[in-house]
Structure 1
Amino acid sequence: MFPLVTLGLVSAVASPAAAQPVTLPELFPAPVSVTLGKGSFALGRSVVLVVAPGVEPETVALVRTILASAGVETITTARQLPKSPERPHIVLGTGDAAVIRDALARTRTARDGHAEGYTIASMASGSGGGVVTLAGADASGLFHAVQTFRQLVRRPTLPALVIQDHPAMPIRGTIEGFYGAPWTMADRAKHLDFLATVKANTYVYSPKDDPFARDRWREPYPAATLSSLGTLVSAARRNHVDFVYAISPGPTVCFSDPKDQQALERKFEALRGIGVHSFYVALDDIEYTKWNCEGDKAAFGPSGAEAAGIAQSKLLNAVQASLVARDPASRPLIMVPTEYYDAKETPYKAALRKYLDPRVVVQWTGTDVVPPAISVPDAKAATKAFGRKTLLWDNYPVNDYAQTTGRLLMAPYTRREAGLAGELTGILSNPMNQEAPSRVAVTGVVAFAWNDKGYDAERTWHASARELAGGDARATAALLTFFDTQHLAPTFGTQAWQEQAPKLKAVLDDVRRAIDHGDASTRRQAIADLSREADTLANAPDIIRSGTVDPGFAAQARPWLEAMEMWGRALQLTAAGLDAAERGSSAAGRYFADAKQRAAQAAAVQSIPGATRFDGPIKIADGVLDRFIADAPTLIAFQTVPAGQ
């Protein structure tokens, strides 16, 4: 998940490498296990690549790109390992290939055999060479191993180690399922590349504003649109991401009409023609206690929740059978039920449990549409209610509902209980209308789905900032400052499930305490600290926009960065006012007045029109920063300047 950076690694010699301590690498998502060995070695400028038969050319090409970006200038190839490698050798392979068996035997390492699993074993040789073995249980496992290797080569030397790793959940990724402006095709392509770096394996195409997937679902896609989708499907395949096509026929479908079933199958057949093998029927956000056609009343009786569950099951079972008959490589159909937002026993869920083909995967959003937390007992209740382990649709960091107006949701992914992997088939994050800013939370979602028991929310949050910053420490710090101002995570109610700006609030609370309880020296120090914090806040947007961060991030976050800079200036003036008041200067009043004016201008900055479902004023650390600036003139009594002077 880390960027490719030129390290300029020099050829290893035993003594410098041996002089350096061997340290544990920080990897994301956290692997199942990492065991350090003895010694380390540098890649140097020349390596040998040993590729087992059957490895995908795209994976080999990715390894070459990673090596070149790490300063390797010459890559030669060989079919097997020499007895005593004098240069670094990189071994790639899947399954039980002979060269993989040989390489792993040298480190007495067993290959991880789980689906999508991999093993990395590295060892240093006394002559300054070394061997890194990337062994995948399958093609996807090898691809994931390469993503971990990408992170390892950021270090000046590679430690001797063994990594055994595999995902806890079989489905991990995102569902573009929000209301409002959909992502562009370019955004989607970037997102697929990003998903590969965090070891995600699923992307569901389900934008609510695609008319051919919802309002006009019976109609075929225009040729140009289908071609663009085909390009995305190819990009997904290259990134070992399953492209899932979702359709939302619920507002108009007639469940008993064979023609509507055929219309669904025709749409899926057209998508199958561009390489899609996974499909999804969304039946959320619809009226399900009345029929769309008289035929359904005749077939299923009076409308109601139970009848809706029976009718939906009938259609979905037929579609599932059709998928298998037409495409043996097809994956199980996914559906999102009309009651997707809790695990309470109802006639509707009972009907799905009784009648829905057990192969069909059911999505569930947790204990609410936007749940503040999800526990293992919650997931067990959902398993019982739907008669199968569910696929969690996590409505974070989506910002398409009223409570998110003016917000980017960028707090760490947390309050999901370790152990959920035992009761879920996976997690799909519903991201924001802003693709690049969504990566912060999605990194956490996927890391949790990969290894829920080894997941660390704060460390993963920092890792996402480093990725967006291109590895630049200054830009990483600026991003974390920005993330803190967008920390609040609302729900559909009045109680947010993540607090706002906890790091900034701690600084401002320290200032309040120092002014209230401290002596003169303590007060002056606190005000000086506040001034530095204000500078950090005001300067962060320029650092983020300077080019070290993904340009898409800065463009999609533009009004937030503008407002943040203005709020930072307001806090600078506030700090100057407190300093003047502490010194007994009559300039305090002017500083506070200017701060108030700047804060009002900052509060008036609007979101990009049409970018999200609800337009409105931008929120920056609201309830924390604005309150402090408003309260500051009352914290220290100061001399006012008489009118006219």
Structure 2
Amino acid sequence: MPRRIGLPLLAATLLSPTPLAAQVATRPAIFPAPAELTLGAGTMTLGRHVVLIAAPGTDPATAARAEQVLRAAGVETITAARRLDRVPARVQIVLGLADATLVRTALGDKTPDTAREGYTITIAPTVNTITLAGSDGDGLFHAVQTLRQLVQRPALPALMIRDHPAMPVRGTIEGFYGKPWTMAERTRHLDFLATVKANTYVYSPKDDPYARDRWREAYPAATLTQLGTLAAAAARNHVDFVYAISPGPTICFSAPADLQALRTKFDALRGIGIHRFYVALDDIEYKKWNCDADQAAFGPSGAAAAGKAQAQLLNAVQADLTRRDPKAPPLIMVPTEYYDAKDTPYKAALRDDLDPKVVVQWTGTDVVPPAISIPDARAATRAFGRKTLLWDNYPVNDYAQTTGRLLMAPYTRREAGLAGELTGILSNPMNQEAPSRVAVTGVLAFAWNDTAYDAQQTWHWSARELAGGDARATAALLTFFDTQHMAPTFGSQPWQEQAPRLHAVLTRVREAVANGDAATRTQAIAELTRVADDLAAAPDTIRAGAADATFVEQARPWFDALALWGRALQQTAAGLAAADAASSAAARYFADARRLAGDAAAVRTIPGATRFDGPIRIADGVLDRFIADAPGLIGTTIAR
């Protein structure tokens, strides 16, 4: 993402009277947090001209991505070279695999990270050299993504980063009900996934008829071409494109024709560059057969029989994948009982009969769990007979409790250490792709390094990314995120509190008024006025500063409602100030606030954009309640 403030900062550093190499190095904030970052002494700047040295065997696309990163940071001229300069006049950037001779030489005595997808970065101001070393091609690509963040600073500190992911699988599953993403939205999402070092995208929209209701039928040629283009975009971003099929509602598990239909579907997808597959058996009736043949093959219908039948089908699919390519990645499946870790006859059948290579997904202790702990994950391992791949239903908003909401709270209440108990995490995002990135960033940062994950810092970084580095837009986005903080579950209590920042301010106002001290009351009302101004201005500030027009469009009705609620709170603050001064204007201000609040509450979601249409919710239960209560907080003799 281009950084709008890069050139002014670069110009300022070049004109600085203090040599940056002599300045104090400060620890950069990198997201996801690296496994190891050691800070050295001194700093350096890129300047307008650099030398790029790609070691033999470096993926040209990764080298080209590095060039894009450098140009976005203000570099004007990039000169290619083949060998290191011991005393370079310009910054030289070395990139390649860690076992390349040139890269080993550039690293000197530094030991590179050798884990899968690992990378090492050294910044050495004393020799004017930056080295990016990947343990493999994916690791080198991730190193470039870290470089993208580093060069947004005016000065690059001397440092060494050794980094690799804690979880092997990290990404998203487009598994929601309702309007699927467009191909353009998916392509933008894949570009986003690259920036947060994800490696997996599962194509599983519930409303794709050729993946569910009409799964036996071939895709139209045009759609197949689009899927191939999407798979190519995933490959460019070092993301595994996984195709998921959902045959459960109609499949006959024992029918050779249905097994062949799966093979035929997968063969067609192989032909367009898709090589990883997934069978989804969630949200189906599994205690009755779809055909008489299954009754004959597996006996009376029931949970245990369903588990046995599913295992037989999945084992046949897995065996076919292995026959075609012994190195093919394993099949992924989501079971019908995906939502808890209780041992059941169904889970026992999968545990006993399912090929151990098949990856099993699990959503936690509920469909939308309020928390996930290490003991929860261990219980799932026992229940399914293998470590599971977590399908985390956050921030998905396709169920009734989420009507009118964008779920944009930080990703929390997942216990550090889960990396040792899971094979990975896939986030199920919202129908709105761009707003989903806020929470998805947290999911993926946690999956990369769960022990060093900081929810609040990651949340703030996500806002800066959406704002393209614009400070005012970042602040406005955080104000907006707070009004969309609540995260419902399938239970009775949400797993994130509603609008905590705003709630704290409104609580201070209530307490100041109740305290009876005039000076404290005046101060609290002044703070309320500032907050109301921020709420009212946030939508226009975001629209003017956001780096992604898609985000603005997909959040449009929420911005419209927020502006009205902000104005309602402004009038409420004015009403409290007037009441505190015993002014007759208080009643008029409060009446205006009620009218604006009514208008705000009437704003509705974009028709058809989500599974459930309805009124937009902005800090509901917090903001609306305060506006309703405000006229009674300060007594006056004014008739209402």
Q: TM > 0.5 between the two?
A: yes
Matches within 5 A, 1:487-506: 487-506=485-504
AA aligned to 1:508 is L
Provide the secondary structure at the position in 1 that maps to 2:157: strand
Q: Which residue in the other structure is 1:414 paired with?
A: 412
Provide the secondary structure at the position in 2 that maps to 1:40: strand
Distance 1:83 1:548 in 2: 43
Distance 1:137 1:438 in 2: 31
Q: Is contact 1:585-1:639 (8 Å) kept?
A: no
CA RMSD of aligned residues (A): 1.4
Q: Which residue in the other structure is 2:197 paired with?
A: 199
Q: Which residue in the other structure is 2:52 paired with?
A: 49
- Verify: 1:456 aligned to 2:464, yes or no: no
Q: Is contact 1:111-1:118 (8 Å) kept?
A: yes
Q: Is contact 1:563-1:603 (8 Å) kept?
A: yes
Distance 2:7 2:328 in 1: 43
Q: Is contact 1:124-1:130 (8 Å) kept?
A: yes
Deviations 1:321-377 (A, max 9, x none): 111212344210000000000000001000101100000000000000000000000
Q: Is contact 1:52-1:93 (8 Å) kept?
A: yes
Deviations 1:142-200 (A, max 9, x none): 00000000000011111110001000000000000000000011100000000000000
- Structure 1 residue runs of 4 or more that deviate by more than 4 Å after TM superposition: 1-5, 10-15
Distance 2:422 2:146 in 1: 25
Q: Is contact 1:12-1:43 (8 Å) kept?
A: no
Q: Which moved more, 1:37-46 or 1:497-506?
A: 37-46
Q: Which residue in the other structure is 1:571 paired with?
A: 569
Distance 2:430 2:561 in 1: 19
Percent identical: 72
Number of aligned residue pairs: 637
- Verify: 1:104 aligned to 2:115, yes or no: no
- Verify: 1:337 aligned to 2:326, yes or no: no
Of residues 151, 154, 164, the one that matches 1:153 is 151
Closer, same or farther: CA 474–52 of 1 in aligned 2, 3 Å: same
- Verify: 1:607 aligned to 2:610, yes or no: no
Question: Could you tell me how far 1:4 is from its partner in structure 2?
Answer: 7.2
Q: Is contact 2:3-2:72 (8 Å) kept?
A: no
Q: Which residue in the other structure is 1:91 paired with?
A: 94
Of residues 182, 185, 210, the one that matches 1:184 is 182
Question: Could you tell me how far 1:548 is from its partner in structure 2?
Answer: 3.0
Question: Could you tell me how far 1:2 is from its partner in structure 2?
Answer: 8.2
- Verify: 1:37 aligned to 2:40, yes or no: yes
Closer, same or farther: CA 423–4 of 1 in aligned 2, 3 Å: farther
- Verify: 1:616 aligned to 2:614, yes or no: yes
AA aligned to 2:381 is T
Closer, same or farther: CA 390–483 of 1 in aligned 2, 3 Å: same
Distance 1:326 1:518 in 2: 78
Question: Could you tell me how far 1:518 is from its partner in structure 2?
Answer: 4.2
Matches within 5 A, 1:158-237: 158-237=156-235
Q: Is contact 1:277-1:329 (8 Å) kept?
A: no
Q: Which residue in the other structure is 1:594 paired with?
A: 592
AA aligned to 1:37 is G
Of residues 55, 63, 66, the one that matches 1:63 is 66
Q: Is contact 2:24-2:41 (8 Å) kept?
A: no
Q: Is contact 1:52-1:94 (8 Å) kept?
A: yes
AA aligned to 2:602 is A
Matches within 5 A, 1:219-368: 219-368=217-366
Q: Which residue in the other structure is 2:27 paired with?
A: 24
Q: Is contact 1:289-1:304 (8 Å) kept?
A: yes
Q: Is contact 1:7-1:154 (8 Å) kept?
A: no
Q: Which moved more, 1:519-528 or 1:196-205?
A: 519-528
Q: Which moved more, 1:35-44 or 1:494-503?
A: 35-44
Structure 2: any 5+ residue segments left out of the alignment?
A: none
Q: Is contact 1:367-1:374 (8 Å) kept?
A: yes
Of residues 515, 529, 532, the one that matches 1:531 is 529
- Verify: 1:392 aligned to 2:404, yes or no: no
Distance 2:111 2:387 in 1: 31
Q: Is contact 2:196-2:441 (8 Å) kept?
A: yes
AA aligned to 1:455 is Y
Structure 1: any 5+ residue segments left out of the alignment?
A: none
Q: Which residue in the other structure is 1:437 paired with?
A: 435
Provide the secondary structure at the position in 2 that maps to 1:173: strand
Question: Could you tell me how far 1:71 is from its partner in structure 2?
Answer: 1.5
Q: TM-score, normalised by structure 2?
A: 0.98
Distance 1:63 1:370 in 2: 39
AA aligned to 1:391 is L
Closer, same or farther: CA 2–64 of 1 in aligned 2, 3 Å: closer
Q: Is contact 1:4-1:66 (8 Å) kept?
A: no
Distance 2:547 2:81 in 1: 38
Q: Is contact 1:4-1:150 (8 Å) kept?
A: no
Q: Which residue in the other structure is 2:514 paired with?
A: 516
Deviations 1:378-413 (A, max 9, x none): 000000100000000000000000100111100000
AA aligned to 1:174 is T
AA aligned to 1:473 is A
Q: Which residue in the other structure is 1:118 paired with?
A: 119
Question: Could you tell me how far 1:592 is from its partner in structure 2?
Answer: 0.8
Q: Is contact 2:470-2:545 (8 Å) kept?
A: no
Q: Which residue in the other structure is 1:482 paired with?
A: 480
Distance 2:607 2:594 in 1: 26
Distance 1:578 1:25 in 2: 44
Distance 1:109 1:299 in 2: 61
Q: TM-score, normalised by structure 1?
A: 0.97
AA aligned to 2:49 is S
Distance 2:84 2:17 in 1: 20
Closer, same or farther: CA 2–317 of 1 in aligned 2, 3 Å: farther
Distance 1:87 1:597 in 2: 63
Distance 1:89 1:481 in 2: 41
Distance 2:610 2:16 in 1: 56
Distance 1:503 1:379 in 2: 32
AA aligned to 1:567 is W
AA aligned to 2:106 is A
Question: Could you tell me how far 1:597 is from its partner in structure 2?
Answer: 1.2
Q: Which residue in the other structure is 1:80 paired with?
A: 83
Q: Is contact 1:176-1:204 (8 Å) kept?
A: yes
Provide the secondary structure at the position in 2 that maps to 1:161: strand
Distance 2:352 2:117 in 1: 32
Provide the secondary structure at the position in 2 that maps to 1:159: strand
Distance 1:522 1:379 in 2: 49
Q: Is contact 2:36-2:163 (8 Å) kept?
A: yes
Question: Could you tell me how far 1:500 is from its partner in structure 2?
Answer: 0.2
